[in-house]
Amino acid sequence: MKGPDVETNMQLRRNQQRRYRGRFALLCRPLLLFMLWLGGAVAWAQAPAGNEFDTAVASLPTASYMDKEALAGQIARSGHPQAQALLQGWLDGKLYADASGHIWLEGEGGYVDPASGSAGKVEADDLEKIGTNNRLRKGLKGMLAQFALASPTASARIRAVREMRRELDESAVAALQARLQQETDAAVTNEIELALALAELQAGEPSQRLAAIASLDGDRSAEVYNSLSQMASGDEADADAQVRAAALAAVRSIESWRSFYQGVETLLFGLSLGSVLVLAAIGLAITFGVMGVINMAHGELIMLGAYTAYVMQLLLPNHIGLALLLSIPVAFIVSGLAGVAIERGIVRHLYGRPLETLLATFGLSLVLQQLVRSVFSPLNRSVQTPGFLSGSLQFNDLLSVTWIRLYIVLFMLIVFAALWLTLNKTSLGLKVRAVSQNRRMATAMGIATSRVDAMTFGLGSGIAGIAGVALSQLTNVGPNLGQAYIIDSFMVVVFGGVGNLWGTLIGGMALGVTNKLLEPWVGAVMAKILVLVFIILFIQRRKQGLFPQKGRAAEGH
């Protein structure tokens, strides 16, 4: 089940954090030693330049991680034309040493000598990767950013400045100042000035620091916030009272913006969770809402959709994006056909006996789960995310949202619109509504009700399959995927009002947002519990949900 997993995960993470905090103290001491040593290394590096690049490269295979950073700096400053390529390759994990200690860079066509760029004949088996660790990667990025500062495109330069301001050491400041002289692009100039102001915060004169604080007004990045809050209070607070006050005011302002954007972020998270709920529930809104059929195997139809996405990726391993797009119609067909089979085989015999339908379809859900376990595996499968769905949209320093969250909202809206149009603008929709309102009358008017039933059930099930494709991008695909969503889906439909698509939309969104709004206060699991309890109580007050269905039939007499 999903919830408990989440909690145990959180617990694990908490424990880990506790452990790390302990380790941190231990780490500090060597770090200090390292700093001292670094000073020495820099002095050594300033010795006759000559073959700085080559000596540094040659010492790479045997260097410790601590040495490596100094060596990287040496390479960066060497001015060697291949320096950037080498550092980039190192960062990307494409730098190797062979048994003799020679360094090779993995390129498009094979391994090349980093200094000359000439290809060499080496066996991949003999190579050992020149490793990196987090700290080193950070350093490498900073150095590469300095190279990128000279890049011809403005946006790349801005990215470089942003990268550099994470670690504003002297060389970075010098590089930035040099660039500022030649920079023509206003945006880049602005960015550099901000970065320099950030460095200026450490300046000697209080007036300089005050000016820096003033010029940083409006910059709400983490670096600015950290520096300012350090200045405002605590052990390393600024000596000057005026500066402290200014820093404090700036920190306050950033904090209020932070909480604002956190609110926006929570809302966005809520909307995307809500979209997931709506997607999962909307097929149910048709089978349960329009037809009055309780399909406990609905979750497994979602699961089938998710496995369809998985299989499509297996079939088209080199076209992940295409596979995903194709899985949408395929999953619709797979789950839809499964739905038609369920309707013809089981549900049809149980119309008017909702509790029996519930039990039979539940049995079916067990069979489907086990089937998936037998065919695939009891373990979770992960479906890859194509490039156009990964990454995140950076609104500003304080707000970034992963694309997938935005896409899921969009996707839900498209599915919803398509479904709404199908039900309201097509002849199938008309028949579906006719049958749901008055079965006998519809029969009398020559509608083949049993065919309409099968089609409706297939439609609802097909939508479940589509929801499964969407879910495959958000969670792992496994035999229990359906179970995790079935109760939520029913809650959404019942809460929104049975037989009302808009109710499902609004109900799902409302529950998603409420859940996410509660989470910061009470934690994820408790939020879920509270939402469930809320729905239970809500149903007592308004049996028919948010948007009740009208008419005599709705009362069930």
Partner 1 sequence: MTFMERLLAWRNERGAFGFYAVLLATAVLVPLLNLAVPEGSPLHMSTYTVTLVGKYMSYAILAVAVDLIWGYCGILSLGHSAFFALGGYAMGMYLMRQIGTRGVYGNAELPDFMVFLNWSELPWYWQGFDMFWFAAIMVLLAPGLLAYVFGWLAFRSRVTGVYLSIITQALTYALLLAFFRNEMGFGGNNGLTDFKEILGFDLKAPGTRMALFLATALALGVAFAAGRMITGSRLGRVVQAVRDAESRTRFIGYRVESYKLWLFVFSAMLAGVAGALYVPQVGIINPGEFSPINSIEVVIWVAVGGRGTLYGAVLGAVVVNYAKTWFTTVLPDIWLYALGTLFVVVTLFLPQGLVGLISKLKLRRGAA
Partner 2 sequence: MNVPHAFSRLIPARLRPSPRSGDVFERHNPPGLDLSHNTVLYLEDITVSFDGFRALNKLTLYVEAGELRCIIGPNGAGKTTMMDVITGKTRPDSGTAWFGQTIDLLGMSEPQIAQAGIGRKFQKPTVFEQHTVFQNLELAMAGDKSVWKMLFAKLSPAQLLRIDEVLETIGLKEHRGALAGVLSHGQKQWLEIGMLLMQEPQLLLVDEPVAGMTPQETERTAELLLSLAGKHSVVVVEHDMDFVRSIARQVTVLHEGSVLAEGSIDEVQNDPRVVEVYLGEPRC
The verdict on 551 binding ligand ATP (CB under 6 A) reads yes
Show the 3-state SS of 164-217.
HCCCCCHHHHHHHHHHHHHCCCHHHHHHHHHHHHHHHCCCCCHHHHHHHHHHCC
- Based on its alpha-carbon atoms, the radius of gyration of the chain, rounded to whole angstroms, reads 31
Q: What is the end-to-end Cα distance of the chain in Å, rounded?
A: 38
Nearer to partner 1, 250 or 338 (CB): 338
Which DSSP category does 386 fall into?
P
Q: What's the closest the beta carbon of residue 549 comes to ligand ATP, in angstroms?
A: 11
Specify the stretch interacting with partner 2 by CB under 8 A; choose among 198-206, 212-220, 351-359, 544-552: 544-552
Q: Which two tokens stand for residue 9?
A: 């995960």
Residue 550 makes contact with partner 2 by CB under 8 A: yes
The contact mask relative to ligand ATP for 496-535 (x = CB under 6 A, - = no) is ----------------------------------------
Query: Which of residues 18 and 557 has its CB atom nearest to ligand ATP in the complex?
Result: 557
Strands (E), 328-403: 392-394, 400-402
| 217 vs 197: CA distance, rounded Å | 10
- Helix then strand then coil, in percent of the chain rounded to 5, is 70, 5, 25
Minimum CB distance to partner 2, residue 463 (Å)? 29
Does position 555 bind ligand ATP by CB under 6 A?
A: yes
- Tell which one of 62, 444, 552, 556 touches ligand ATP (CB under 6 A): 552
Between 283 and 497, name the residue whose CB sits nearer to ligand ATP.
497
Contacts by residues 108-117 (CB-CB < 8 Å, ≥ 24 positions apart):
114/57, 114/82, 114/85, 114/86, 114/89, 115/53, 115/54, 115/57, 115/80, 115/82, 117/82
Nearer to ligand ATP, 520 or 551 (CB): 551
Integer Cα distance of 235 and 250 in angstroms: 19
Q: How far is the CB of 550 from partner 2 (least distance, A)?
A: 5
Q: Which is nearer to partner 2, 121 or 557 (CB)?
A: 557
Choose one: 179-187, 403-411, 523-531, 549-557; the region binding partner 2 (CB under 8 A).
549-557
Q: Which two tokens stand for residue 254?
A: 């950033």
* Total of residues contacting ligand ATP (CB under 6 A): 3
The one-letter amino acid at 405? R
What is the nearest approach in angstroms of ligand ATP to the Cβ of residue 441?
13
Output phi, psi for 513, to 5 deg. Answer: -65, -45
Chain positions contacting partner 1, by CB under 8 A: 1, 3-4, 7-8, 11, 294, 346, 349-350, 354-360, 362-371, 373-374, 483, 487, 490-491, 494, 525-526, 528-529, 532-533, 535-537, 539-541, 543, 556-557
φ, ψ at 329 (rounded to 5°): -65, -35
- Closest residue to bound ligand ATP by CB: 552
User: Is residue 5 a contact residue for ligand ATP (CB under 6 A)?
Assistant: no
DSSP code of 132? -
Taken in order 451, 457, 460, 465, is the CA torsion positive or negative?
negative
d(CA 70, CA 191): 28
| Minimum separation from the CB atom of position 551 to partner 2 (A) | 8
- Tell me the H-state helices in 376-426: 403-425
Q: Do residues 509 and 271 make contact, with C-beta atoms less than 8 angstroms apart?
A: yes
Q: How far is the CB of 360 from ligand ATP (least distance, A)?
A: 31
Angle between helices 298-315 and 449-472 (to 10 degrees): 60
Give the nearer residue to partner 1 in terms of CB position, either 3 or 131.
3
Sheet containing 103-106: order of strands: 111-112, 103-106, 95-97, 128-129
Task: For partner 1, give the closer residue by CB, 180 or 350.
Answer: 350
Stretch near ligand ATP under the rule CB under 6 A, chosen from 4-12, 183-191, 533-541, 548-556: 548-556
For the bound state, the minimum distance from the C-beta of residue 540 to partner 2, rounded and expressed in Å, comes to: 17
For partner 1, give the closer residue by CB, 34 or 538.
538
Least distance between ligand ATP and beta carbon 557 (Å): 8
Select the residue interacting with partner 2 from 50, 62, 552, 556 (CB under 8 A). 552
In the range 355-414, which residues lie near ligand ATP by CB under 6 A? none
Residue 309 phi/psi, 5-degree rounding, is -60, -40
- Quickly tell me which residue has 């990964």 as its tokens: 390
Between 252 and 550, whose beta carbon lies closer to partner 2? 550
Whether the CA torsion 489, 492, 495, 499 is positive or negative: it is negative
Contact partner at residue 367 from ligand ATP, partner 2, partner 1, none, CB < 5 to 8 Å by partner kind: partner 1
To the nearest whole angstrom, how small is the minimum distance from the Cβ of residue 552 to partner 1? 14
Nearer Cβ to ligand ATP, position 137 or 550? 550
543 binds partner 2, rule: CB under 8 A = no
Number of residues that bind partner 2 (CB under 8 A): 3
C-alpha–C-alpha distance, residues 513 and 520, integer Å: 12
- Give min distance, CB of 519 to ligand ATP, in A: 41
Q: Which is nearer to partner 1, 224 or 347 (CB)?
A: 347
Binding site for ligand ATP (CB under 6 A): 551-552, 555
Binding site for partner 2 (CB under 8 A): 550-552
